[in-house]
Amino acid sequence: MPADSLLPVASTPGTGKSPVPSSHLRIARPCRDLNIAQKFWVAGLGLKVLWRSPPPSETEGGHELLMLGWPGASWHLELVHVVEQEAFPTPTDEDLIVLYLDGQIDPEAVEKLLQAGGRRVTHANEYWNKWGVIIADPDGYQLVLCTRAWENV
């Protein structure tokens, strides 16, 4: 993705666009090591690298970025490499990414996530333990593979 496509577009008040259900969603979070995270999300979950920035010295804003997702999806996960003087990732129990699978979870899918650097954890909310498998990514953020279907309300 070219860097200029990430820039906001100027518009005249009242003539711009508003968010709609098909608007693309960016989920951003800090990351200690983009290579380790890439292994987890790509080799473990099967996401694709949508874009990776050049080294920080060559990027606007000085941050190294890794964008992951499934081509054609209306969302992507953007990991921002943090350095020592910045705040390291501090995930809470509510910093979840939940994938609703609508059925039993393939044990091989869980094993791939574990082999790619994830670790199985329990959640403080028993709901997620009952209805899913929780895997912490290398930065400690939790991914829930949920057996339930998403009910669009």
Share of the chain above pLDDT 90, in %: 73
For the chain, what percent of residues have pLDDT higher than 70?
84
Beta bridge partners of 77: 27, 68
The pTM of this model reads: 0.84
Q: Whose CA is closest to 139, among 12, 2, 1, 38?
A: 38
User: Nearest-CA neighbor of 51 among 66, 32, 72?
Assistant: 66
Spell out the domains of the chain, with CATH numbers in brackets: 96-146 (3.10.180.10)
Give the pLDDT mean for 58-77: 88
